[in-house]
C-alpha cells in the first residue's frame, strides 16, 4: 500500500475510474470500500497461520510485507487514500457540473434561430429553463430602450411545448416587474403568514448583496403570488432589457451557485439574441428599401404607362362618339366601338387603382405608433380622391402607444377594408376611427353600403366557423390577438370593430 507498491496504482486507478464515472460521494464511497478491503487484508495477515503460508510462498518477492499492514501505518495510508478519493471526486464533480452547464448553454444557443424571431427565441429559451428547473410558470418582461414600452409574457410548458400568453402590464407595470434594485439576480422564499420574504440577492459581478430592499419582490408577489421565485436581469444591447421570473423552481445545487449559473447563462446567450435582433432589423430595413424602390418604379413606370394608355383610349372613345354623330350610316358600329373602348378604359382605371393599393400595402410595412395616425389619414384621403366616396378619419388621442407589429397589421386591415368598400359595398360614405377605450385600442371601419349577407352582430368565433367575412381581416386580427366584431345591416351598411389590448409584443 505504499506509493512504491504496485497495489497502490490499483487503488489509485479505482478511485480515478469512480470519479470519472460517477462523482464526489460515489468516489468517497469507493475509497471507503477500498479501505475496508485493506483492513480486512490486515486482519487476515494478523493471523499466525496466514503469516506462515505467506512466508512459505515467498510473497516478499512482490514487496508485500507484514510491516505494510501495521495498524498505525495502515491508518495513515487509509487517511491518505480517503483524502485522495475526496479530492478526485470533488474535481470530477466540478468538471461534470461545468460540462453540464456548457451543454445547457449550447442547447439554448441552438434555440436562437432567425426563423423563430426574437419573441420565439426568447420563448424557447425560457421554456428550456422551465424544463431544466421544473418551474410551474415563468414570466418574461422586456422593455424597449427607445420607447420604454413594456411587454409581459406568461409562459408555461403544455404538452412539452412552451406556450406564451401576453399579459397587460397595467399602468404600474414598470414598478411591478422592473423596479430599481442593486441586484441583478435574486431568489425569494415567501413566509406563509404574511407578505414577508427571505431574499438572497447577487449583483452583476456574482457577489452576494447583504442588504436588499424587498419592495420589488413584494410588488411582484401582489400580482403573482408564489412560494419560491427566482429572477434574472437580462440586457440585449441598448435596445432591449428586462427580467425573467421563474415561479416555484427546484434548484439542485445551492441557491447561490444556481444564481451564478443563471447569470453566466444569460451573459452567454445575450450576444446571440442581440445579433438576432440586429439581423432582423437590418433585414427589415433592407426589405423596406427594396419595397420603396419597387414603389417608385411602379409609380414612375407601370402606373404612368397605364394612365397614358387610359388617356389614349379615352381620346379614341371620344373620337368614335363624334364620328357616330357626323356619319349616321355607321353610327351603330361607332357606338359599339365606343362602348367597348369605355369598358377597356374602366379596366385600365381599375388596374391603376389596384397598383396604387398594392403600393400602399408595401408602404404599410414601415408603419409604427408614431406614423400610424398620419398613414391612416393619408389612406382615407387617398381613398376619397380615387373613388369619389366621401371618407373621413377620426382620432381621439394625441399619441398612439402600440407596438410596430400591431400598427402594421392595423394599417393593412384598414387598407383591406377600404378595398372591400370600393369593390363590394356601393357605399357613399365611409368612416375610419381609432379610439382608446378602457386601456384598449379600438379600430372602427363603418360604411353606408349594402352590408354583408347577414343581419345583426357576430363575433370572431362565429366568423371562423361560418367564414362569412373576409378571411384576410380575420387572420390579421388573430395575428395581433385582437377581438373582431362585425355588425351588418343589409342595404344600410356595415361596421367592423377591432379591439386590441395594449399588450406590447416583442418581435
Helix (H, G, I), strand (E, B) or coil at 157: strand
% residues pLDDT > 90 (the chain): 6
In 3D, which of 128, 173, 177, 132 has the Cα closest to residue 155?
Answer: 128
Cell of 188: 425569494
Cell of 263: 447569470
pLDDT of amino acid 434: 92
Q: What's the CA gap between 344 and 339, in Å, rounded?
A: 9
DSSP characters for 352-416? HHHHHHHHHHHHGGG--TTTHHHHHHHHHHHHHHHH--EEEEEE--S-----HHHHHHHHHHHHH
pLDDT tens across 177-210, in order?
888 888 889 899 887 666 778 888 888 888 888 8
User: Per-residue confidence at 61, pLDDT binned at 50, 70, 90?
Assistant: very low
Q: Which of 112-116, 412-416, 417-421, 449-453 has the lowest mean pLDDT?
A: 112-116
Q: Is there a contact between 288 and 294 (Cβ–Cβ < 8 Å)?
A: no
The model's pTM: 0.58
Average pLDDT (480-502) is 87
Please report, to the nearest 10 degrees, the dihedral formed by the alpha carbons of residues 461, 463, 467, 468 taken in order.
Answer: 160
pLDDT of amino acid 6: 53
Q: Which of 36-45, 250-259, 355-364, 469-478 has the lowest mean pLDDT?
A: 36-45
β-pairing verdict for 228-236 and 429-437: unpaired
| Stronger pLDDT, 70 or 505, i.e. the higher one | 70
Which residue shows C-alpha cell 381599375? Answer: 350
Crossing angle between the packed helical segments 471-479 and 404-420, to the nearest 10 degrees: 170
Q: What's the CA gap between 346 and 256, in Å, rounded?
A: 75
Mean pLDDT of the chain: 79
Domain annotation for the chain: domains and CATH numbers: 6-106 (no CATH), 112-250 (3.30.450), 367-507 (3.30.565.10)
Q: What share of the chain is helix, strand, coil (3-state, %, to 5)?
A: 55, 20, 25
475 to each of 159, 372, 446, 471, 479, how far by Cα in Å? 25, 20, 20, 6, 6
Cell of 65: 510485507
Q: What's the CA gap between 426 and 447, in Å, rounded?
A: 9
User: Per-residue confidence at 505, pLDDT binned at 50, 70, 90?
Assistant: very low
Q: Is there a contact between 400 and 440 (Cβ–Cβ < 8 Å)?
A: no
pLDDT above 90 for 430:
yes
Q: What's the CA gap between 335 and 320, in Å, rounded?
A: 7
The contacts of residue 431 (CB under 8 Å, 6+ apart) are 391, 392, 393, 394, 444, 445, 446, 447
pLDDT of amino acid 7: 56
Please give the DSSP secondary-structure letter assigned to residue 203. -
| Stronger pLDDT, 221 or 13, i.e. the higher one | 221
Amino acid at each position: 500500500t505504499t506509493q512504491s507498491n504496485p497495489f497502490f496504482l490499483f487503488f489509485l486507478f479505482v478511485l480515478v475510474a469512480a470519479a470519472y464515472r460517477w462523482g464526489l460521494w460515489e468516489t468517497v464511497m469507493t475509497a471507503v470500500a477500498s479501505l475496508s478491503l485493506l483492513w480486512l487484508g490486515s486482519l487476515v495477515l494478523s493471523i499466525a497461520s496466514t503469516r506462515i503460508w505467506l512466508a512459505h510462498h515467498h510473497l516478499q518477492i512482490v514487496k508485500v510485507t507484514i510491516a505494510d499492514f501495521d495498524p498505525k501505518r495502515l491508518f495513515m495510508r487509509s487517511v491518505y487514500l480517503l483524502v485522495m478519493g475526496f479530492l478526485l471526486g470533488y474535481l470530477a464533480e466540478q468538471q461534470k457540473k461545468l460540462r453540464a452547464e456548457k451543454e445547457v448553454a449550447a442547447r439554448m444557443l441552438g434555440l436562437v434561430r432567425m426563423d423563430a424571431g426574437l419573441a420565439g427565441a426568447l420563448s424557447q429559451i425560457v421554456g428550456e429553463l422551465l424544463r431544466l428547473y421544473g418551474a410551474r410558470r415563468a414570466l418574461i418582461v422586456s422593455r424597449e430602450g427607445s420607447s420604454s414600452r413594456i411587454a409581459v409574457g406568461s409562459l408555461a410548458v403544455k404538452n412539452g411545448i412552451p406556450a406564451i400568453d401576453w399579459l397587460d402590464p397595467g399602468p404600474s407595470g414598470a414598478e411591478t416587474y422592473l423596479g430599481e434594485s442593486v441586484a441583478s439576480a435574486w431568489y425569494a422564499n415567501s413566509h406563509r403568514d404574511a407578505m414577508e420574504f427571505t431574499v438572497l440577492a447577487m449583483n452583476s459581478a456574482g457577489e452576494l448583496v447583504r442588504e436588499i430592499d424587498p419592495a420589488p419582490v413584494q410588488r411582484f408577489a401582489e400580482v403573482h403570488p408564489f412560494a419560491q421565485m427566482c429572477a434574472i436581469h437580462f440586457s440585449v444591447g441598448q435596445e432591449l432589457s428586462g427580467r425573467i421570473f421563474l415561479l416555484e423552481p427546484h434548484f439542485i445545487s445551492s441557491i447561490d451557485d444556481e444564481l451564478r449559473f443563471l447569470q453566466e447563462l444569460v451573459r452567454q446567450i445575450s450576444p446571440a439574441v442581440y445579433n438576432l435582433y440586429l439581423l432582423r432589423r437590418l433585414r427589415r430595413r433592407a426589405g423596406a428599401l427594396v419595397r420603396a424602390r419597387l414603389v417608385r418604379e411602379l409609380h414612375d413606370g407601370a402606373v404612368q404607362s397605364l394612365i397614358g394608355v387610359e388617356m389614349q383610349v379615352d381620346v379614341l372613345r371620344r373620337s368614335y362618339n363624334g364620328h357616330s354623330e357626323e356619319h349616321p350610316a355607321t353610327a351603330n358600329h361607332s357606338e359599339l366601338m365606343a362602348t367597348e373602348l369605355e369598358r377597356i378604359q374602366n379596366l385600365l382605371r381599375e388596374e391603376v387603382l389596384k397598383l396604387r393599393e398594392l403600393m400602399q400595402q408595401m408602404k404599410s410595412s414601415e408603419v409604427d405608433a408614431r406614423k400610424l395616425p398620419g398613414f391612416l389619414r393619408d389612406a382615407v384621403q387617398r381613398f376619397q380622391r380615387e373613388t369619389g366616396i366621401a371618407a373621413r378619419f377620426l382620432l381621439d388621442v394625441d399619441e398612439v402607444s402600440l407596438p410596430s407589429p400591431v400598427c402594421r397589421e392595423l394599417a393593412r386591415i384598414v387598407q383591406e377594408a377600404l378595398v372591400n368598400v370600393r369593390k363590394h359595398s356601393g357605399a357613399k360614405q365611409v368612416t375610419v376611427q381609432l379610439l382608446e377605450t378602457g386601456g384598449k385600442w379600438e379600430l372602427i371601419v363603418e360604411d353606408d353600403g349594402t352590408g354583408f349577407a347577414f343581419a345583426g352582430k357576430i363575433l370572431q368565433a362565429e366568423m371562423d366557423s361560418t367564414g362569412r367575412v373576409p378571411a384576410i381581416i380575420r387572420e390579421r386580427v388573430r395575428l395581433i390577438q385582437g377581438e373582431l366584431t362585425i355588425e351588418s345591416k343589409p342595404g344600410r351598411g356595415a361596421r367592423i370593430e377591432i379591439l386590441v389590448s395594449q399588450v406590447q409584443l416583442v418581435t
